[in-house]
Chains A and B, each alone.
Chain A
Amino acid sequence: MAEPALKEESREIFDEGLNRGIEKLTSEKIEQVINAVLEDETGARLKVYVDTCVHCGLCSEACHFYVSFREPRFSPAGKVKQTLWEMLKKKGKVSPEFIRRASEIASTECNLCKRCSMYCPFGIDVAYLMLVVRRICHKLGVTPQYIQDTAHSHSATFNQMWVKDDEWIDTLMWQEEEAQDEIPDLRIPLDKEGADVFYSVIGPEPKFRAQLIYQAAVIMDAAGINWTMPATPGWDNSDMCMYTGDNEMMGRLKKAHFESAMRLKAKRIVMGECGHAFRSIYDMGNRWLAWQMPPIPVTHAIEFYYELFREGKLKIARKYETPVTLHDPCNIVRGRGLHEMARYVVNEVCEEFVEMHPNREHNFCCSAGGGVINCGPPFRNKRVEGNKAKADQLFDAKARGAKTLIAPCHNCHGGLEDIIHHYGLGLELKFLGDIIYECMEKGQGSEM
């Protein structure tokens, strides 16, 4: 009946951060850290969630890992059983090998997508419980290597990709020049005070998706937006520290971000098409800094595009002809309810829209979010095979005519790209901004 929580040694994936991390652990250290985190950093929520769970298993079908593998250890409650229940039962007296496995479960087998909170009759927040596990593992120094490296980059540079301060400015100026070939008077205003819009992106944009900055500039220009981008650290809105359990660093990053916008006296932050960064700014980082809501209004790209179309600031030259389907990213749909606005924009820009099922709040996660894709190659196969559910969902949309898949989130892009490739789905993957850029009337804006 009650199966042992730990039985996976045989299938162990080698990860430098996890395997080396546990070499330094002693049982005293583990016990002390677990109990310190549980005692000092958690309280009624954790206790009630653990006491209230009636072990009914109704959360299982919510999780794409479970739906794909059909193995009980991948169910949301199954993951809590293998981690927190055991830690609580043994009062922190668990082995280093247990911690290794707990870190792997919390960091690579749960995307913190919160879909299970909509399937649990009690609304138990398993994502929160997994974050507690990550926090414990962080404090024990047992975090997957790749994501820990990005967290280090955040600590050292305040951006995710080790982008140096001058490289950032250089990239913006480069994209401005590139765009000026198309629209001669286009500017990317750096560090301008009092702009209506402070535009922020995630580290990977300047690093390897610089064309997104170009496209955003063209959109801002055409819509006549009074905007700016910061020339100083704090430009990166992304946050892998939030996902490694490094809450202190999460707070510092968000503080730098909010303060850059405030230093420039911007009216609001508009951010690019990223989900986790939105969660970090709108939901988690602000809370760590004791702001009930962000101290300065935050608008996600989808909401921003929606406004631009509603107010007639953007116009479409010709609609995108290829039939599209839309992936609803967790962090901005279950995290902000932007699904109807996304559909409005899609319908403005595209000829033919094919819904995938399930959709909106019930959409399946891409399996890349929650820092899972950032844990890197060692966990790639598990992540992709663990989302056959998504492949089935996409295949169904394709069977009904969809040829292009819109994913308005960076991590979703990474995850879906792998899924499309692995399962041979042959869908073209795009950001909403890609399609808007392709189809819009350009260069009418004059206000700067």
Chain B
Amino acid sequence: MQTLYNFVSGPLVWLSFMIFIGGSLYRLISMAVLAKKKDPLVYVYMDWYYALRSIFHWIIPFGSENMKKRPVMTLVTFVFHICLIGIPIFLFAHVILWEEAWNISWWFISDPVADIMTLAVIASCIFFLVRRLVLPEVRYLTSYSDFVILAIVAVPFITGFWAYHQWFGYRLMLILHILSGEIMLAAIPFTRLSHALFFPVTRGYMGSEFGAVKNAKDW
């Protein structure tokens, strides 16, 4: 158990960060190069002002018509994404790890708050799962990989919550928590989780086309 723990909390951390950072750079750069070669118009029509204008409308809650039309989905999506990114970075236990390893630290969230945020992530994942199964238009688009991706995101939070509360099998849960977190990180560049990387590009390009060429808004 200890060897396994040392392995997932040592070399695998390095590996997952390398895959995440290297993979993300590779994906973004290779797409930029491919676009230059095959879709040069992306560079011609990309307009920073209109790209940012569109991105801005889509990253503030209820900034677009569609968000206003689906208030529950909008609320869940924003809470989910904020907690999903916020917890791993600002969790006290994580900040301590950084401090111990690198002697750097930053602001953290209190544990009770983190607890609630974690539950919010898990609840959101359940919401997405139910939505996927119940709404015909979402179900129609669903493939097995969508469930796998949802699991990749949910498991680190479930196991983390479990480990924090030190319920039975705590040691194993901690290992699973670290391992699943690493899997999620490494999966970002190479699965549909890459929407995190490409959101500014796709939204910005559509914003540029609509704003600069077509003189219209796209939200």
The answer to whether A119 touches B194, judged by C-beta atoms less than 8 angstroms apart, is: no
Question: In the complex, what distance in Å separates the CA atom of A49 from the CA atom of B42?
Answer: 13
Which one, A120-128, A231-239, A246-254, A377-385, is touching chain B? Answer: A120-128
What residue of chain A has the Cβ atom nearest to residue B59's Cβ? A121
What residue of chain A has the Cβ atom nearest to residue B195's Cβ? A52
Question: In the complex, what distance in Å separates the CA atom of A61 from the CA atom of B65?
Answer: 11
The answer to whether A57 touches B206, judged by C-beta atoms less than 8 angstroms apart, is: no
Across the interface, which residues of B come within 8 angstroms of A62, CB to CB?
66
Question: In the complex, what distance in Å separates the CA atom of A335 from the CA atom of B144?
Answer: 37
Supposing A336-B215, A361-B217 touch, asked if A61 and B38 sit within 8 A by C-beta, the answer is: no
Supposing A51-B194, A54-B195, A118-B219 touch, asked if A43 and B137 sit within 8 A by C-beta, the answer is: no
Q: Mark B197-212, 1 if CB is under 8 A from A, else 0.
A: 0110111011101100
Could you tell me the distance in whole angstroms from the C-beta of B152 to the nearest C-beta in chain A?
13
Point out which of A3, A42, A45 has the most chain B C-beta atoms below 10 A from its C-beta.
Answer: A45
Tell whether A73 is near chain B: CB-to-CB under 8 Å: yes
The answer to whether B137 touches A66, judged by C-beta atoms less than 8 angstroms apart, is: yes
Supposing A44-B31, A287-B41 touch, asked if A72 and B136 sit within 8 A by C-beta, the answer is: yes
Q: Mark B4-48, 1 if CB is under 8 A from A, else 0.
A: 000000000000000000000000000110110111011011000
Across the interface, which residues of A come within 8 angstroms of B136, CB to CB?
72
Could you tell me the distance in whole angstroms from the C-beta of B129 to the nearest C-beta in chain A?
12
Majority secondary structure, B binding face:
helix
The answer to whether A48 touches B202, judged by C-beta atoms less than 8 angstroms apart, is: yes
Contact partner of B192 (CB less than 8 A), chosen from A1, A54, A336, is A54
Could you tell me the distance in whole angstroms from the C-beta of B85 to the nearest C-beta in chain A?
16
Contact partner of A44 (CB less than 8 A), chosen from B42, B66, B195, B209, is B42
The answer to whether A124 touches B216, judged by C-beta atoms less than 8 angstroms apart, is: no
Could you tell me the distance in whole angstroms from the C-beta of A64 to the nearest C-beta in chain B?
14
Tell whether A399 is near chain B: CB-to-CB under 8 Å: no
Question: In the complex, what distance in Å separates the CA atom of A58 from the CA atom of B66?
Answer: 8
The answer to whether B143 touches A2, judged by C-beta atoms less than 8 angstroms apart, is: yes
Within 8 A of A (CB), among B86-144: 135-144
Tell whether A438 is near chain B: CB-to-CB under 8 Å: no
Could you tell me the distance in whole angstroms from the C-beta of B51 to the nearest C-beta in chain A?
10
The answer to whether A123 touches B214, judged by C-beta atoms less than 8 angstroms apart, is: no
Sample of 18 further A-B pairs with CB below 8 A, known A1-B142, A42-B39, A334-B216: A2-B142, A2-B143, A3-B140, A44-B39, A51-B194, A52-B202, A55-B142, A72-B139, A72-B140, A77-B141, A117-B210, A118-B219, A121-B66, A123-B202, A123-B218, A335-B214, A337-B214, A338-B215
- 21 CB-based A-B contacts, threshold 8 Å: A44-B39, A45-B35, A45-B205, A48-B31, A51-B198, A52-B192, A52-B202, A53-B192, A61-B66, A72-B139, A78-B140, A117-B206, A121-B58, A122-B199, A122-B203, A123-B202, A123-B207, A292-B45, A334-B210, A335-B214, A337-B215
